[in-house]
Amino acid sequence: MINRNAKNVLHELSSGYYVVAVTGPRQAGKTTLVKHVFNHKKYISLEDPDEREFAQQDTRRFLARLPEGAILDEVQRCPELFSYLQTRVDNDRQPGQFILTGSQQFGLLREVAQSLAGRVGLLELPPFSYSEIKGTRHAPNSLDELLWKGLYPPLYDRNLKPENWYKGYMQTYIERDVRQLLNIKDLSTFQRFVRMCAARIGQLLNLSNLANECGITHNTAKAWISTLEASYIVFLLQPHHRNYNKRLVKTPKLYFYDSGLAAWLLGIKDVEQLSIHAMRGALFEGWVISELMKARYNAGYQSNLYFWRDHIGNEVDVIIEQGEKLIPIEIKSGQTLSSSAFSGLHKWLKLAANDADEAYLCYGGEESYGRADATVIAWSSLDQLQV
């Protein structure tokens, strides 16, 4: 098993909360991780029809057979459990009794908020980060292979072709999760919508444009984006709010959590095609930002990432809020850098003045080094940046 960075946080949460809930996308490795960390606990999957029926029909007896607690996998499949879990942990105040996992963010978090508020520690588990496979025999041989393959765990512990796995993943996701969250009659339109989103990675979100191209209403496009967010397929990077007397863009940017899934949606068939594809820069930008976000999630924190852009197009790809200071990061996919690569950082640093901390530029090259105006970080050393 590849060591997961979130393991220590899981131990910490289970020592302070009666219940720990682990959510995230399907196939991110939630079950593998909790079974490894809590290998002394009984494991029950609520995907099992017999277990689910038992939990639904006789919830008290179902929990009574678990005096030491348990791992309850895909627990959102049985909402009846949550109020009984509340009574159980209120009467028996032992930390780490129950470990809950769930892939459908809406279902799990809604029930947690209603029944287990204050009693549950929450961890969002993304797919692998590069730092988790770096240095192992599983690590891709190049940046382009990493971007094309992506970082979903099944691609690293089985002999699977990415194109076949992503096809099955999307079919399963659409047939199960989407139909549970939305009443979609024409699934092919939703599939086209997801592909349109992949073609807009790194762009300002324009729901009206997306809706028009897919032949749906603006409200439908808004609901579908929310569903993709809830399922950990996409995330919206919000603009930073401090304006420094400049008019700022107020629209978020659209990114995918996994570059491999996005590459498959774009029809990129192999590493060679990706290396010359027009979207390579956008895929690299999205990968860097998702890696920064994964580092936050794996440490048990929420995102503190933003971007900055004014009304005339001056821009910094990432602004990290770190206490009272702001850390700017520019992202360039090329292997060589010119002085113009730092122009966005220079303009922002002048505006931010004392609010700014050390500036960084992450690029597709192999060497990290310091400059007077910024620290240059190679893509393979991104995990050394503390966020």
Q: Can you spell out the DSSP letters for 44-103?
A: EETTSHHHHHHHHH-HHHHHHT-TT-EEEETGGG-TTHHHHHHHHHHHS--TT-EEEEES
Lowest average pLDDT, out of 7-11, 320-324, 326-330, goes to: 320-324
**3-class DSSP state of 152:** coil
Inter-residue contact 291 to 130 (CB < 8 Å): yes
pLDDT tens, position by position, 246-263? 667 789 999 999 999 999
Give mean pLDDT, residues 358-368: 96
Give mean pLDDT, residues 49-77: 93
Q: Return the CA Rg of the chain.
A: 22
Asked if the model's pLDDT at residue 128 lies above 80, the reply is yes
d(CA 53, CA 62): 10
* Local confidence band at 159 (pLDDT 50, 70, 90 cut-offs): confident
Question: Which pLDDT belongs to residue 174?
Answer: 75
Mean pLDDT of the chain: 91
- Share of residues in the chain with pLDDT > 70 (%): 97
Asked if the model's pLDDT at residue 213 lies above 90, the reply is yes
Asked if the model's pLDDT at residue 104 lies above 80, the reply is no
Asked if the model's pLDDT at residue 200 lies above 90, the reply is yes
Give mean pLDDT, residues 334-356: 91
Asked if the model's pLDDT at residue 243 lies above 70, the reply is no
The candidate with the shortest Cα–Cα distance to 66, out of 105, 40, 103, 27, is: 40
**β-strand partners of 331:** 362
Q: Which domains can be identified in the chain, with CATH numbers? A: 7-124 (3.40.50.300), 129-387 (no CATH)
d(CA 147, CA 242): 32
Asked if the model's pLDDT at residue 21 lies above 70, the reply is yes
The candidate with the shortest Cα–Cα distance to 307, out of 324, 291, 326, is: 326
Asked if the model's pLDDT at residue 149 lies above 70, the reply is yes
* Local confidence band at 332 (pLDDT 50, 70, 90 cut-offs): very high
Neighbour-count burial for 313-333, b at 16+ CB within 10 Å, e otherwise: ebbbbbbbbeeeebbbbbbbb
Question: Which pLDDT belongs to residue 109?
Answer: 72
Inter-residue contact 307 to 274 (CB < 8 Å): no
Give mean pLDDT, residues 113-127: 86
Q: Token match 């967010």: residue? A: 229
Distance, C-alpha 43 to centroid of its chain: 25
Neighbour-count burial for 36-60, b at 16+ CB within 10 Å, e otherwise: ebbeebeebebeeeebbebbeeebe
Give mean pLDDT, residues 19-35: 93
Asked if the model's pLDDT at residue 187 lies above 90, the reply is no
The candidate with the shortest Cα–Cα distance to 282, out of 198, 167, 162, 163, is: 198
pLDDT tens, position by position, 276-324? 999 999 999 999 999 999 999 999 999 999 999 888 888 999 999 988 8
